[in-house]
Chain A
Amino acid sequence: MGKQVAEFGAVLSPLEKDILKTLWPNRRMRVRQIYDSLKGSRKLALSSVAVLLDRLHDRGIVSRSVETGRGGVRYVYFPSQNKAGFERSIVASSVDKLIKHFGPIAVSYFEERFAK
């Protein structure tokens, strides 16, 4: 469970994981730049990278800005948080869900667990 959270397998798909690892700790990159850095290690399409970045943006995991350059108007993506911050947010979200669903049972379990 701990390893899974650390590897984000339960939260992110393998390609999303690779995209975030490309952007961390705080790189600003265009879609094509991310695609170019990943295409060597796996078979993928530019559109797939664009879709996943948009989904990560909708989930608040990455942010983006519109920039105008010589090639025209493009999105530049950057992580909303560093890796540690992202891990923390996953843990917080998971704990909140457990408490919401199981209420006092979850709270008492956490108290017993961390008292040991």
Chain B
Amino acid sequence: MSFQLVSQIVLGLAERPLLLLSMLGLLGLSVGFFIAWRQKTKVWLLHAHLALFIAPFFLLAYALNCSLSIVQGLLAFCATIITKLLLVVIPLSVVLAFLLGYYIMPWLVRKSLVARQTLQFSNILPAHVRTWIIDKAKPVAFSTQNHIFLSVGILELLSPKQIEAVVLHELNHVLHKNSWTKVSAALAYWVSPLAHFSTQHSSADEHRADCFAATTQGSWRHVCLARKKVQECASKW
């Protein structure tokens, strides 16, 4: 049955050369945006790659319009409304995912945590960046948007200079909007096969953040010790 379906799709495409060219063109653009993303590290390039990767399949579904008999048989109900829903639902999902990842989730994280803003980093942080302490014994530190989160555990584990190194590291992620890139990259990993070749992005971001902390403090000692202590401790949890 799958062979019959594939053969029908291939024959259908062969009868519509313009559709086939459009799909190949979109896939080619998708590859181009992926290559640009790997070089420029701009998150909108990643989203353009994802959109152009998914677009040919929408185009195919819309063009076919569920006219294949075998598809009708499989679905038992197949009409233009399905393709229209797909064309609306998926873009809507992307928008909702953006809102969820960029606004709602960070807000929920802040609301759910025992958070108190610390002021001791005001000499190294820009005014728009806030630090929050979360009620967690495991040493963790992360950032979203303009917020840096430190667990009580990491404050207990590290010395003041090492904590400063961690804050500077996270500040670099904030300034480069890496948290949004990480979320987008995770989404791309599930959707796009090309994204499986992009793991070095996060490593490059981490190294750049370490460099920023080391340069600001004038020494690699604190950031290296902090990373070592956190990794050793986190492995015990």
**Which A positions have Cβ atoms within 8 angstroms of B?**
30-32, 46-48, 50-51, 53-54, 57, 66, 68, 72-75
Bound Cα distance A8, B232 (Å): 28
Could you list some 12 contacts between A and B, CB below 8 A? A30-B156, A31-B156, A47-B157, A48-B236, A50-B153, A54-B153, A66-B114, A66-B133, A68-B116, A72-B160, A73-B152, A74-B152
In the complex, which residue of chain B has the Cβ closest to the Cβ of A75?
A: B152
Enumerate the 8 nearest inter-chain pairs by beta-carbon distance, A residue then B residue, closest first: A54-B137, A47-B233, A51-B236, A73-B133, A72-B155, A73-B155, A31-B156, A75-B152
B236: A residues at CB distance < 8 A: 47-48, 51
Closest chain-A Cβ to B21's Cβ sits at a distance in Å of 60
Does A75 contact B137, Cβ atoms closer than 8 Å?
yes
Q: Mark B142-158, 1 if CB is under 8 A from A, else 0.
A: 00000000001101110
Bound Cα distance A54, B140 (Å): 14
A53: B residues at CB distance < 8 A: 137
Whether A54 touches B237, Cβ cut-off 8 Å, given contacts A66-B114, A73-B116, is: yes
B138: A residues at CB distance < 8 A: 54
In the complex, which residue of chain A has the Cβ closest to the Cβ of B135?
A: A66
Contact size range, B: 20 to 34
**Which B positions have Cβ atoms within 8 angstroms of A?**
114, 116, 118, 120, 133, 135, 137-138, 152-153, 155-157, 160, 163, 229, 232-233, 236-237
Q: Which of A50, A72, A75 contacts B233 (CB 8 A)?
A: A50
Bound Cα distance A24, B153 (Å): 23
Bound Cα distance A57, B152 (Å): 14
Bound Cα distance A31, B156 (Å): 8
Does A50 contact B114, Cβ atoms closer than 8 Å?
no
B135: A residues at CB distance < 8 A: 66
Bound Cα distance A66, B116 (Å): 11
Whether A46 touches B157, Cβ cut-off 8 Å, given contacts A51-B236, A54-B237, A75-B137, is: yes
Does A74 contact B237, Cβ atoms closer than 8 Å?
no
Closest chain-A Cβ to B22's Cβ sits at a distance in Å of 56
Does A74 contact B155, Cβ atoms closer than 8 Å?
yes
In the complex, which residue of chain A has the Cβ closest to the Cβ of B232?
A: A47
Whether A51 touches B157, Cβ cut-off 8 Å, given contacts A66-B114, A75-B137, A75-B152, is: no
Whether A51 touches B237, Cβ cut-off 8 Å, given contacts A66-B114, A73-B116, A73-B133, is: yes
Bound Cα distance A54, B138 (Å): 8
B155: A residues at CB distance < 8 A: 72-74
A46: B residues at CB distance < 8 A: 157
A75: B residues at CB distance < 8 A: 137, 152, 156
Most B Cβ at <10 Å: residue of A31, A32, A53, A72: A72
Does A66 contact B152, Cβ atoms closer than 8 Å?
yes
Bound Cα distance A112, B88 (Å): 73
Closest chain-B Cβ to A71's Cβ sits at a distance in Å of 9
In the complex, which residue of chain B has the Cβ closest to the Cβ of A32?
A: B156
In the complex, which residue of chain A has the Cβ closest to the Cβ of B234?
A: A47
Bound Cα distance A57, B156 (Å): 16
Bound Cα distance A75, B236 (Å): 18
